[in-house]
Structure 1
Amino acid sequence: MPTYRVQLTDGTQRTVDALRVRADSRSLLLENRTAGVWSPVLCLGLDQVSRVQRRLNESDGSWTWLTESVPSAVTGIKSWA
């Protein structure tokens, strides 16, 4: 199962195992699937997240953290005029 490390804007970090990461306009969700149902492992506001990294396991037993792109938080409604 993939391991993710989330760096928060307050300087702390959370490390969780999750099968997928998704985001909407305001939230970042890390989720697992059990019996065909996706359920959140960690849910944070995008304004709380500064960086998300995924751990890549090497064949020699070491690992590397790869930085994933995270959308920025939406602060208002944009109209496409």
Structure 2
Amino acid sequence: MPPELSGEAARKATAEFEREQRRREAERRKEEAARQKERARRDKLVTKAQAALDKAQREHDRKTLTCDEVPRSTARRSAA
């Protein structure tokens, strides 16, 4: 069995325990904030990349439609 603590020693131990709990909680909040910031940064990059991909797809579709509108015979004559 552990030795009995005096009142003052128990108060000091309790205070130290509570300080350590507060420190750990503050560290946890800090880490969570950093994770959220990183998540937001990644989401912004994904959105930007998706917008660029969508734009490139629209441009490709536009060019493909333009090429399909030109009759093949006209394209052959102009190439000759």
Above 0.5 in TM-score? no
Greater relative contact order (CA < 8 Å, ≥ 6 in sequence): 1
Structure with the larger helix share: 2
Structure with the larger strand share: 1
Structure of larger gyration radius: 2
> What's the TM-score, normalizing by structure 2?
0.23
